[in-house]
Structure 1
Amino acid sequence: MMRKLLFLIFLLSSGLLNAQKSTISGYVKEASSGEGLIGASVYVKELKTGNVTNTYGFYSLTLPAGKYTLVFSSSGFKKWEQAVDVAAKSQEISVELVADSQELAEVIVKARANDENVRGIEMSVNKVDIKTIRKIPALLGEVDLVRAIQLLPGVSTVGEGASGFNVRGGGVDQNLVLLDDAPVYNSSHLFGFFSVFNPDAVKDVKLFKGGIPSMYGGRASSILDVKMKEGNAKKLEVNGGVGVIFSRLSIEAPILKDKASFIVAARRSYIDVLAKPFLTGNNANSKFSFYDLTAKVNYTINQKNTVFMSGYFGRDVFGTGFGFDWGNTTLTTRWNHVFSNKLFLNATAFFSNYDYMLDSDIENKRPNDAFKWTSNIENLSIKPDFTYYWRPDNTITFGGQLLTYDFTPGKANATSNGEKREFGQANKQGVEASAYVGHDWKINSRLTIQYGVRYSHYDYKSLNGEYYDRIPVPESTENPSGYVLKINQTDPNAVVASYGNWEPRFALNVTANESSSLKLSYNRLVQYIHLMSNTAASTPLDVWTSSTNNIKPQIVDQVALGLFKNFGPDGNNYESSIEIYYKDMQNQIDYADRANLFLNPYFEKDLLFGKGRAYGIEFFLKKNVGKLTGWASYTLARTERKIEGLNNNEWYANRYDRTHTLNLVGQYSLSDKWSFGANFAYITGVPYTVPSQKYIFDGIAYPQTVPGTRGNIRVPDYHRLDISATKKNKKALFGKGSSEWVFSVYNVYNRKNPFSIYTRPNEDNSVQTEAVQLSIIGSFVPAITYNFSF
């Protein structure tokens, strides 16, 4: 099947390459920095047609002979018109757009045409400009990308202090988070309070919740594609900030003007430094901090070749008398090559690693009584992506990827009274190969379609030469799942299990008029790796594992229908949309009661499998221009599972189920000096399981749940208001550049939002039990941040 698909791609691309047309191509860049503009519009006035630039600012238009006027535009930049005489010979025209300071003060929308949300084929996609993210009030005044996207429709989290985010009823592991194409497995610092993305180094943020193009794969719920800045190719630029909890600094500059540049951005928290004078005794050597370093360099060899290299390294350190740290490392190299005015290549190779370590004796004071636990997941990949600009109304994309996984799910070394013992889960290896082809076709002014197919193949190996078959047995206290594992021997180089899946994709846009359209999309997504976590909120200690002969890949089919409408005095002052969606999920994973996932070599016997479904409706309204801008989003949704052996084999609300989610976000520009922001969030509480019985032993009550029940009650609803005020200064450090003070209050009215609820014996009467609500942030949090740029 893979060979047939590759052969089809070859024939398609070969046939298209033979077409002879007069083509205009080039790059659209930002004048102040030389960075390519993503999604900039290139419009042909006379033909009333055009195209948009790709991720690197490249565009291509194939036109009949004649004289035309090209209009280059991007939100936040002044339009540029250029006359062109199209003859038989192809031409290269690159332009640099100048920022429109007046428009920047009002517009918060993306770098795109004002009506792209109506005319574009994309749906279930949110693209949030980093300038917008900076205006949103944030915890401790620190701009945070992941917290910002949680204010979008269809996106939520299980609570404050939870890592990652949930999209349309999916788990944290069902989101593919990419930083310059390299996967990031834990996107959070400080147990979920901040994300790993330094805003000073981020160029573009795009979240795909549905209608996902065929070039993306590997996760069952969403794609968060984050692109790093390339560095100012014109001049030295320094940005930074000093906050309550951490400081940051970024430096970007040309290496060779207009040809090579770099950016380096760093952050470091200093909670540990501030707290050190107050820590004594056993707490004197406490460690709790995080830091990260982001860097990128690029070199334009010539008009047809550009190379990039970027990397990220971040770490969290936590411990009092012990060591606990976790972090991500990524390294990406890219080559952009223009084969012709129509054919563009982006070839990517990346390395990614996520690991954590727990050490009971970090200072080596008790070598005869110590415990050390390590785990990691590592990727290597090569990925060529081709784009063929056949005509202004036809674009072909095709390519493939080879991706390797090395899993160390959990390995521990324990020493007791000088006796050493090693235990944990066996190392595993997986290889995922995929190929895809997609076609964007603007059939006429009212109808656009995007269709494609992806084929993925996965091989699993057990590197210790053992694998397990699940054998059903009667349920018991020792085997609550009703399964045991039978050990089998195999060659470590032998493939234990293989899976292959076709992943079709389709999207349709029917434009009713200049301001409204109806969109439809369908996609199938397949996920071959899984995050083992039987808690509502994921933690750094959760374990990534492979699909095996016992764990089948997750398969999700999603269909979505949306109505998009722009309105206002200028036609696009307001954006609105209504989307409904339905997701059918196969091979969903849940856990038997009392399942043991950590360092358990036989954890697969405690897994339970079944199906899932998620459905909902999302409302979105955004004001784009004027002194007051912002958006309102509301989601009514349901996500359920039906797992054999749980809840009497009936449907139950999944732990990520949020019935109602309301977000209000606003920014107001009072003057050139002062601006204000506010956001309000209201979310229905997540399901949890409350004990329905108890037993008493030695005068103490022990709560007990009915085996197999799930989500019989909900945590109280979550709601929160945040506000901020920003004062801009004329000058920054050393009398140069610009600066600002940001004053913010998180959780203004002091709401003690519940993170979880658990039961315990009553302190006054141990025969009675009581429910205890845990709140991570139980009060308002004021903050002051100073940002500068020069």
Structure 2
Amino acid sequence: MVSHNVVERSVQMGEAPGMISLNSYIAGYLPGSGDNAVFNLLRLQPGIVAAGEQPNDLIIWGSYEGTSKVKYDGMTIWGLKNFNDNISAVNPFMSKNVAVFKGGYDVTHDDLVGGVVEIAGKTGRRDRAGVNLFLNNETINGMVETPLSERSSVVLAFRQTYYNLFEPEDIDFSDSRDLEYKIDVEPEYRFRDFNAKYSWQEDDGSLFYVSMLFGDDDFSYSARQERQQNIITQTTSEENHQYGGALFWGENFKNGDRLKLQGSWSGLNSTYGVRRYIENLRFNRMFPRVDNETVTKVDEGALKVDYQFQRKAKNVPRIGLELVRDHLNITEDSSDMERISSDFEGYRIAGFLQNKMLLSEHFELKAGIRMNHSLYTSKSYLDPRVELKYKLGQNIKLNAAWGQYHQFLVKSSLFDETDNFRYTWSLADGENIPVMNSQHWVGGVTWADNDLTISLDGYYKSVEGFTRYVRFSQSREEVYEGTGQSYGLDVFLKKDFKGHTFWTSYSVGRAEELFPYFPEQQYRRAPHDQRHELKMAALVHLFKDIHVSATYVFGTGFPLYANYLSDRFTEPDYNRLDLALVYRLSLSKIDGELGLSLLNALDHYNVKYSSFEQIPLDQLNTAYIDAEAVDFTPLVFLKMRF
């Protein structure tokens, strides 16, 4: 008899160096299972930092923001800001399988110096129509799937917040609670997204689909402080709009060969504005201090053909060709005067050749080379990559990989004159903005039987070509090029039995950077560096219809530097316990779940990566606003399937 359980054997490791395979169905039974289910599952994996609580732009093995990529059905997820941690840019109703490549991946993958997460979307039901509804105390989510023929189907999904999720007390002022004059804050927030997908699948596994998505994520707040002589007011707003589409055709031939044709295009429009002014009560006059607005439009389109030969048992050649177009438009206004207006467009042609050689029953060698020719820089870049896998007995797998990687669409970091730290997209031209390049060294060992998995992964990555803008004042800005390195070890232990699953992961690592403006000219901890992180998860199946789960994350925190020149920092720990209870409903024509999640059940105050902003109040006092702070959060949800 063949049977399955919804939570067992949902995580697989050791199939390739630095790779994790996930069945996202398990995410529905983890705490916070609603709108952030996929990323809640990702953040619990070794090597992916959970302490930053980044819902989209993941920190993988010491990678900087923008150097790792999340893809959904081949489309780039640029990362809606998602000021509410409980809502991610990927609808969990639309997610099927997730593959994580932390580093050392082969030549068939994108041009990045960090990691890659590939999310495969659902193809829809072909037996009968179905409706999925999800409602919690933050959003409503609905999905409709219906067959159009015996082999084709269409899926539609929509999510939206139905009230303002932020209250004034949700905005935290670190180090400013003892201010003589109170600060009043009024926040506003809205999120919504839409997915559509048409699929056609043959009996031999050949697949055709068209997939589209749209997302809208807007957050703003107004901070006001009344003093004896004046009133200080600051309004900050950020609006993010994401959109994209993908076309895929995969053909499986009778001789075993496989052909994949894929076209994708996605973009992000982001508007960030800050207005600060002082009203003098004595003279009844208004004095503007800051009035900036930055609009960034970034999009990427790609056409890719990938052919794998399967004619010889001991050699599996694979070839591919890809055309990529990157477009970037940035405008920045200050006090109604245009300071920056730039428009960049770059094309590149990428080709790869790879051969997987079965040297023996236990030993496999995969070697390939990827070549990029950038029409924007008028240069070619070669990236050789090698992967080794050795199976020792029935349960032990050894693997190792080395590779070289380049990245052409990059995120540059910016320190402004008030010591705030932000990232902005840039297109590498090889001169003012260098093409980032990296080398990955990865090694690991995995021991697994039917219900126990033990895995260790070690890595070292060196990166060159970081770009950082330091704005010393409104009239002075310098551009610096830096280098970085990261190295560490992941340990993972997972046990499945009788419908239950438990896992623990521990990561130790270091991410360092060096820029010419550092006074000591020595490697310094990067802003996203975290030394230790421990994660634990337990999913227990009680009786027939009850699932209880708990997750715990402890991290030693990030270095919060006093300013861009100082090497002095604070490092608060990260500590979060989440709990969940799910009851499976089974009525005559309706299936579903009723659940309760307690996020941050111990109400521990946590600092999130790149989430705070400094507001200079006067020469002596500065307020630190954490606009993303989520304290103890109960979530009640109802999920129904018709």
Same fold (TM over 0.5): yes
1:781 has 2:633 as partner = yes
Shift of 1:302: 8.8
Instruction: Provide the residue aligned with 2:269 in structure 1.
Output: 355
Q: Is 2:296 the counterpart of 1:439?
A: no
Give the aligned partner of residue 453 of structure 1. Answer: 369
Cα separation, 1, equivalents of 2:633 and 2:117: 29
Inter-partner Cα distance in structure 2 for 1:248 and 1:673: 23
**Could you say which residue in structure 2 is the equivalent of 1:594?**
472
1:271-282 map, 5 Å: 271-272=163-164
1:507 counterpart = 2:387: yes
Residues 1:298 and 2:199 are matched in the alignment? yes
Seq. identity, % = 18
Mapping of residues 183-194 of structure 1, within 5 Å: 183-190=76-83, 192-194=85-87
Query: Is the Cα contact below 8 Å between 1:657 and 1:686 reproduced in 2?
Result: yes
Q: Indicate conservation of the 8 Å contact 2:147/2:153, yes or no.
A: yes
Name the aligned partner's letter for residue 428 of structure 1.
F
Do 1:356 and 1:541's aligned partners in 2 also have CA atoms closer than 8 Å? no
Q: Is the 8 A contact 2:131 2:143 kept in 1?
A: yes
CA distance in 2, matches of 1:498, 1:613: 28
In the TM superposition, residue 188 of structure 1 has moved relative to its aligned partner by: 4.6
1:346 and 1:501, CA in 2 relative to 1: closer, same or farther beyond 3 A?
A: same
User: Deviations along 1:35-93, whole A, 9 cap, x unmatched?
Assistant: xxxxxxxxxxxxxxxxxxxxxxxxxxxxxxxxxxxxxxxxxxx76xxxxxxxxxxxxxx
Give the secondary-structure state (helix, strand or coil) at the position aligned to 1:146: helix
* CA–CA distance in structure 2, aligned partners of residues 642 and 499 of structure 1: 26
Question: CA deviation digits over 1:691-750, x for unaligned, max 9?
Answer: xxxxxxxxxxxxxx5x7334x22321101100001111222xxx4131111111111111
Instruction: Identify the residue that residue 407 of structure 2 maps to in structure 1.
Output: 527
Give the conservation status (yes or no) of the 8 Å contact 1:393–1:441.
Answer: yes
- Tell me which stretches of 4 or more aligned residues in structure 1 moved more than 6 Å: 301-305, 320-323, 369-372, 756-763, 769-773
**In 1, Cα distance between equivalents of 2:55 and 2:541:** 33
Return closer, same or farther for 1:653/1:749 CA change in 2, 3 Å cut-off: same
Which amino acid in the other structure matches residue 581 of structure 1?
A: Y
Whichever residue aligns with residue 448 of structure 1, its letter is E
Q: Size of the alignment, in residue pairs?
A: 595
Alignment TM-score, normalising by the size of structure 1: 0.69
Cα distance 1:646–1:319, how it changes in 2: closer, same or farther (>3 A)? closer
Between 227-236 and 641-650, report the one with greater CA deviation.
641-650
- Alpha-carbon distance in structure 1 between the residues aligned to 2:65 and 2:85: 12
Cα distance, 1:574 vs. partner?
0.5
The AA in structure 1 aligned to 2:629 is: I
Paired with 1:302 and 1:445, the residues of 2 have a C-alpha distance of 31
User: For residues 140-179 of structure 1, what are the structure 2 equivalents within 5 Å?
Assistant: 142-156=35-49, 159-160=52-53, 164-179=57-72
Considering fraction of residues, name the structure with more helix. 1
**2:397 is aligned with 1:397:** no
Residues 414, 421 of structure 2: 8 Å contact kept: no
1:214-247 alpha-carbon deviations (Å, 9 max, x no partner): 1112211101111111111111122221011001
In 1, Cα distance between the equivalents of 2:51 and 2:596? 27
Contact map agreement 1:163 1:191 (CA 8 A) in 2: no
Deviation per CA, 1:7-52: give whole Å up to 9, x if none.
xxxxxxxxxxxxxxxxxxxxxxxxxxxxxxxxxxxxxxxxxxxxxx
Q: Which residue of 2 aligns with 1:343?
A: 257
Shift of 1:173: 0.2
Distance 1:389 1:187 in 2: 40
Change in Cα spacing, 1:658 to 1:641, as seen in structure 2 (3 Å) is same
- RMSD over aligned Cα, in angstroms? 3.4
- CA separation in 2, counterparts of 1:642 and 1:428? 28
Distance 1:772 1:138 in 2: 28
Relative distance call for 1:311 and 1:759 in structure 2 (3 A) is closer
Note the alpha carbon deviations across 1:583-604, whole angstroms, 9 max, x for none: 11122333436387xxx9x96x
- State the match for 1:517 in structure 2: 397
Gaps of 5+ in 1: 1-77, 80-99, 111-115, 276-282, 362-368, 416-420, 461-496, 691-704
SS at match of 1:131: helix
Shift of 1:317: 2.7
Which residue identity lines up with residue 239 of structure 1 in the other structure? Answer: N
For residues 342-741 of structure 1, the aligned pairs below 5 Å read 342-357=256-271, 373-412=294-333, 421-460=337-376, 497-534=377-414, 542-548=423-429, 549-566=431-448, 571-592=449-470, 594=472, 606-690=478-562, 708-710=565-567, 712-731=568-587, 735-741=588-594
Q: Residue 751 of structure 1: which of 578, 583, 604 is its match?
A: 604
Compared CA separation, residues 210 and 243, structure 1 to 2 (3 A): same
TM-aligned CA distance change 1:774 to 1:219, over 3 Å: same
Tell me the amino acid that sits aligned with residue 743 of structure 1: L
The answer to whether residue 91 in structure 2 is matched with residue 213 in structure 1 is no
Q: Distance in 2 between matches of 1:762 and 1:314?
A: 35
Residue type of the alignment partner of 2:270: Y
Amino acid in structure 1 at the alignment position of 2:641: S
Shift of 1:441: 2.3
Report the CA distance between 1:378 and its aligned residue.
1.8
- Structure 2 gap ranges (5+): 168-183, 223-234, 276-287
Q: Equivalent residues in 2 for 1:23-172 (5 A)?
A: 100=3, 103-105=4-6, 107-110=8-11, 117=13, 120=15, 122-138=16-32, 142-156=35-49, 159-160=52-53, 164-172=57-65
TM-score with structure 2 setting the length: 0.84
1:161 is displaced (CA, Å) by: 6.6
One-letter amino acid of the counterpart of residue 353, structure 1: G
Q: Tell me how far apart the structure 2 counterparts of residues 389 and 357 of structure 1 sit (CA, whole Å).
A: 49
Correspondence for 2:92: 199
- Flag the structure with more relative contact order, 1 or 2, with Cα contacts below 8 A and sequence separation at least 6: 2
Distance, in Å, in 1 between the alignment partners of 2:221 and 2:214 is: 24
**What displacement does 1:754 show?**
2.7
The correspondence of residues 304-319 of structure 1 with structure 2, limited to 5 A, is: 306-319=207-220
Structure-1 separation of matches of 2:617 and 2:216? 40
Distance change >3 Å, CA 761–CA 221, structure 1 → 2? closer
Over 3 Å counting, the alpha-carbon distance change for 1:162 and 1:210 in structure 2 is closer
Q: Secondary structure at the match of 2:447?
A: strand
- Conserved? CA contact 1:584–1:614, under 8 Å: yes
Cα pair 2:592 2:638 within 8 Å, conserved: yes
